[in-house]
């Protein structure tokens, strides 16, 4: 899954305070790097169906990620993955994130994945499901792809925050809604000082008429 940019758009929809409260609760229970986070460096091992490639990674901020690997295609892929991790884990307030949009509730909370919260005016038709102070599903639609992320497992950090460890992404055609691909993600983390940093990421997906398994392994972390 690639990174994406959301832009706030004008909307006449009014905020539902219950929706705001529900999503804020899940947001504040989600693990992120601390506000004074300066970044980290680590050795990197990429394994694609048994073929290993070594490199290094430096994360200064969610928008400043450097991956040093000789293979250009792998470098681009690893940069996208680590950039996505850094974007999702980077420190930010609720008001800087989903809280700046008009939020509304749809239906009731009887769905197995929880209550639906619609994000109005983000330009992506986004809506989530929230259950037990966790965002359990994310839905977005863009001109070139639509996707649904189902969060399947989370860990609880030393700070009593939820940190996703396993999720599946379903990709759809935005034209007819047909399923185009599925990727399964499994993450582990390592605690360094006050930060929970990536330790491994495994992705199982479909490429070129075959099931492909890729892993990222981070070792010898050094805080910046």
Model confidence at 154: pLDDT above 80: yes
Res. 7 pLDDT band, cuts 50 70 90? low
Model confidence at 54: pLDDT above 80: yes
pLDDT of residue 10: 67
Model confidence at 201: pLDDT above 70: yes
Average pLDDT, the chain: 93
Q: What is the pLDDT of residues 31-44, one digit of tens each?
A: 999 999 999 999 99
DSSP 98: G
- Residue identified by tokens 């950039």 is 83
pLDDT of residue 2: 45
Res. 126 pLDDT band, cuts 50 70 90? very high
Model confidence at 27: pLDDT above 80: yes
Q: What is the pLDDT of residues 161-198, one digit of tens each?
A: 999 999 999 999 999 999 999 999 999 999 999 999 99
Mean pLDDT across 46-60: 97
Mean pLDDT across 64-71: 95
Strands (E), the chain: 40-48, 51-61, 64-68, 102-106, 115-120, 127-131, 134-141, 146-156, 162-172, 179-192, 195-207, 210-223
pLDDT of residue 199: 98
- Which SS3 state, helix, strand or coil, does residue 145 take? coil
């Amino acid at each position: 899954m690639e990174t994406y940019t959301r832009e706030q758009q004008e909307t006449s929809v009014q905020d539902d305070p219950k929706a705001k409260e529900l999503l804020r609760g899940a947001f504040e229970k989600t693990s992120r790097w601390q506000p004074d986070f300066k970044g980290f460096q680590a050795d990197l091992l990429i394994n694609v169906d048994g073929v290993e490639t070594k490199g290094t990674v430096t994360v200064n901020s969610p928008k400043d990620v450097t991956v040093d690997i000789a293979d250009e295609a792998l470098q681009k892929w690893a940069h996208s993955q680590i950039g996505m991790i850094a974007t999702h884990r980077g420190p930010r307030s609720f008001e800087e994130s989903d809280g700046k949009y008009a939020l509304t509730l749809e239906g009731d909370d009887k769905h197995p994945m929880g209550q639906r919260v619609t994000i109005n005016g983000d330009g992506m038709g986004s809506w989530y499901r929230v259950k037990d102070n966790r965002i359990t599903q994310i839905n977005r639609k863009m001109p070139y792809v639509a996707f649904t992320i189902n969060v399947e497992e989370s860990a609880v950090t030393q700070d009593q925050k939820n940190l996703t460890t396993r999720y599946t992404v379903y990709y759809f055609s935005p034209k007819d809604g047909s399923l185009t691909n599925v990727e399964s993600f499994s993450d582990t983390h390592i605690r360094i000082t006050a930060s929970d940093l990536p330790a491994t990421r495994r992705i199982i997906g479909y490429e070129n008429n075959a099931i492909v398994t890729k892993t990222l392994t981070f070792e010898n972390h050094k805080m910046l």
